[in-house]
Amino acid sequence: MDERITEHARTLVDWSARVERGDDVVVSVGAGAHDLAVAVCAELGARGANVVTTYASGELDRAYLRAHDGEFAASDAERALYEESDVVLRLGGPLNTTAMADVPGETQAARARAHQAAREARLDTRWVSTVHPTRALAQQAGMSFEEYRDFAYDAILRDWESLAAEMARLKAVLDDGSEVRLVTERDVQPSTDLTMSIDGRVAVNSAASVAYDSHNLPSGEVFTAPYATEGEAFFDVPMTLQGRRVRDVWLSFEAGEVVDFSAGTNEDVLADLLDTDPGARRLGELGIGMNRGIDRFTDNVLFDEKMGDTVHLAVGRAYESNFPPGHEDEANDSAVHVDMITDVSSESTIAVDGEVIQRNGRFRWEDGFEAA
Amino acid sequence: MDERITEHARTLVDWSARVERGDDVVVSVGAGAHDLAVAVCAELGARGANVVTTYASGELDRAYLRAHDGEFAASDAERALYEESDVVLRLGGPLNTTAMADVPGETQAARARAHQAAREARLDTRWVSTVHPTRALAQQAGMSFEEYRDFAYDAILRDWESLAAEMARLKAVLDDGSEVRLVTERDVQPSTDLTMSIDGRVAVNSAASVAYDSHNLPSGEVFTAPYATEGEAFFDVPMTLQGRRVRDVWLSFEAGEVVDFSAGTNEDVLADLLDTDPGARRLGELGIGMNRGIDRFTDNVLFDEKMGDTVHLAVGRAYESNFPPGHEDEANDSAVHVDMITDVSSESTIAVDGEVIQRNGRFRWEDGFEAA
């Protein structure tokens, strides 16, 4: 077995989920994630944890959902499984990233609503989502399988302790600051000049560990929940919404709301998204990607939004972890949360309260930062 | 998809498990049983049942068990999952039937003891075990994959309603009878002449459906719990015990207990088995195979013991379903239950209270039965 699979499993079990003896651990095995599951089971055995393995397959879901009449009921068994679990490890690894392409979105949403209690019980555990590189993911990224594996392990097998320390510096700046301004000026595309308030909000140091309230491996971003957004933003990284490719999204904000927008392709999908509910026109997240093991976009948000030298803004739901205790109800509410990414590696600045903290991808505490 | 997979799924869901709308169903998917799982999920969706899919892999088990220090704890999550389930469908389908060959038996037994509450909760559901034909099973049977699939579906896709009616006739004979005598006389092997009491016992019509207290698909046997066994029996069908092939087992009984024995190969494994505990020297089961879709032995007891024109005797634990209510504590108790099979298609008779009910594989109610 590739030694990196064993390293991945160790990172997941120890750094990310902090598994201890006696923990009841659910391991959700994607249809193409068998090899990672073997390595994870060995680590869990060595730590004296209990294991229940579940099976996650788009093909099974598709068959079930297409045959169902749509009147879904809550699953007591699924809820009970998660209620009695301490840790849930989701090992993604699809054999076909479009296996659910012919299942109507309403059907998926109806099942999700019926299973909300089980979902909440799962989110109450020390859950972590990761991904085992498969040929389907390589294909989605436009890479060979070997190349994609190198890419994925570069992203996953970081020195997380050291990255967490660096991200703590950015978190301190954002926690102390009141206003963020993001500026990008390039000749070949619309400019970005966006001002957001972050006063009273708490930044999360997303260091790929439940100890940091971070539930993705890889991670590597610091994010907060902005409001009172003013200005314009252009997103040069393509995204896939409802199975369709949306490029060159441009949003214009006034008093925290999107008042104008455009997209280079599939603009109607963007329009549908923004019309979901009132919260879909407000920002739920400002995230600053700091994982430099991720050096290109692969059409997979788990990786894309963590890429070093990028910023992402999400329209829709905000995370409660960005609010001080007792203020969680101030979080922007929406049925959606869609990340949009922009490259800030060149001709870009991020400023907090008027002071530039990043220019062209370099933070002010790094070698190569240009003071002005 | 092979239409037989869909038929298999329908038989499992409707005939075997009697799934109804709103049932919470756990589907345990063997590592090689993905295609059957897709078909089963479609049937469960169409019936409006809830589904949780678990993953069963010898490779995951092996990795976990070999890494563990052996101090196993009960799994609350696994127990809760089964306690809240109505139905458990186990779709076997190994990629390697010897995947656990290097896991010590004591380790497996220790884990099984720690997980007893979960096991009991599972056995309290409408559980059914079946098998999806894989290349590994074909190899174990010494067949090509295509040939093995034909074999497996011949066994699984029976007219179960009609077979259940025929087996009901045999059950009635055994329920009314007091003594069974099994005789086989062949020139080339030791003779069998065994007399067993079945007075006060209840025969089970194992018709591959929970409605018949039968939990295997395929099934097709009528079995009871004999006692006061006297005489000798020879088992001409090889068996695999603890990963070793045991052939030509011969047992001699007095007053219900094995008093002498031999085997043509690996006799020490047979000796170990009989020394497990006092109950391991007494019979727990007399079964009469009636599934004529199974026409050869494939080194898989799920199929072998159901084969038409065979009889099997198990040393060890008896099933409570063979005892009238209130008499379950009379069941032979043992940590083991090992089936041994003998061919009765020629030079053989089965008699109940002195009356021959089967001769050379033909029952007395069938065409071709020779009265004497």
CATH at residue B65: 3.40.1830.10
Q: Cβ-count burial of A254 within 10 angstroms (0-12 exposed, 13-18 middle, 19+ buried)?
A: exposed
For residue A275, tell me if it sits in a domain.
Answer: yes
The amino acid at A19 = V
Give B154 to chain A, closest Cα distance, Å: 25
The verdict on residue A316 lying in a domain is yes
pLDDT digits (tens, 9 = 90+) for A79-135: 999 999 999 999 999 999 999 989 988 898 899 999 999 999 999 999 999 999 999
Amino acid identity for residue A151 in this structure:
F
Task: Please report the pLDDT score of residue A106 as a whole number.
Answer: 87
Listed as ranges, residues in chain B with pLDDT below 70 are 372
A152 and A104: one domain?
yes
- Identify whether residues A177 and A321 lie together within a single domain: yes
In this prediction, residue B257 carries a pLDDT of 97
Provide the number of structural domains found in chain A.
2
Residue B369 resides in a domain: no
Choose among A38, A94, A149: nearest CA to B57: A38
B271 touches chain A (CB under 8 A): no
pLDDT number for residue B372: 65
The last residue of one of the domains, among A156, A182, A206, is: A156
Q: Is B113 on the interface with A (CB under 8 A)?
A: no
Pair (B128, B216) in one structural domain: no
User: Looking at A156, A179, A208, which one is the last position of a domain?
Assistant: A156
Q: Do residues A325 and A243 both lie within one domain?
A: yes
B210 is a domain residue: yes
Residues 75-94 of B with CB under 8 A from A: 75-85
Asked whether residue B188 falls in the same domain as residue B250, the answer is yes
Identify whether the C-beta of residue A126 lies closer than 8 Å to the C-beta of residue A18: yes
Domain annotation covers residue A371: no
Looking at the structure, do residues A92 and A177 belong to the same domain, yes or no?
no
Task: Indicate yes or no: CB of B81 within 8 angstroms of CB of A77.
Answer: yes
> What secondary structure, in 3-state letters, does B43-79 show?
HHHHCCCEEEEEEECHHHHHHHHHHCCCCCCCCHHHH
Asked whether residue A47 is domain-assigned, the answer is yes
Among residues B120, B141, B156, the one where a domain terminates is B156
pLDDT for position A145 = 97
- % of chain A with per-residue pLDDT over 90: 90
Report the alpha-carbon distance of residue A315 to residue A176 in Å, rounded: 24
Domain that holds residue A67: 3-156
> Does the beta-carbon distance from B85 to A77 stay under 8 Å?
yes
Q: Same domain, yes or no, for A188 and A337? A: yes
Using N-to-C axis directions, what is the helix angle for B105-114 and B58-67, rounded to 10°?
A: 90
ipTM score for this prediction = 0.90
Tell me, yes or no, whether A176 and A146 share the same domain: no
In a domain, A48, yes or no: yes
Residue A23 has pLDDT above 90, yes or no: yes
> Closest partner residue to A81 among B59, B68, B81, by Cβ?
B81
State whether B173 and B146 are in the same domain.
no
**Same domain, yes or no, for A263 and A351?**
yes
Joined together, the tokens standing for residue A17 give: 């989920």
Cβ <8 Å between B52 and A57? no
Cβ contact, residue pair B84, A80, below 8 Å: yes
Q: Does the residue A369 lie in any domain?
A: no
Same domain? B115 vs B205: no
Burial class of residue B254 (count of CB atoms within 10 Å of its CB; 0-12, 13-18, 19+): exposed
What rounded mean pLDDT belongs to chain B? 95
CA atoms of B220 and A120, how far apart (whole Å): 44
Q: Which of residues 116-135 of B touch A (CB under 8 A)?
A: none
Same domain, B247 and B289: yes
Residue of A59, A74, A80 with shortest CB distance to B81: A80
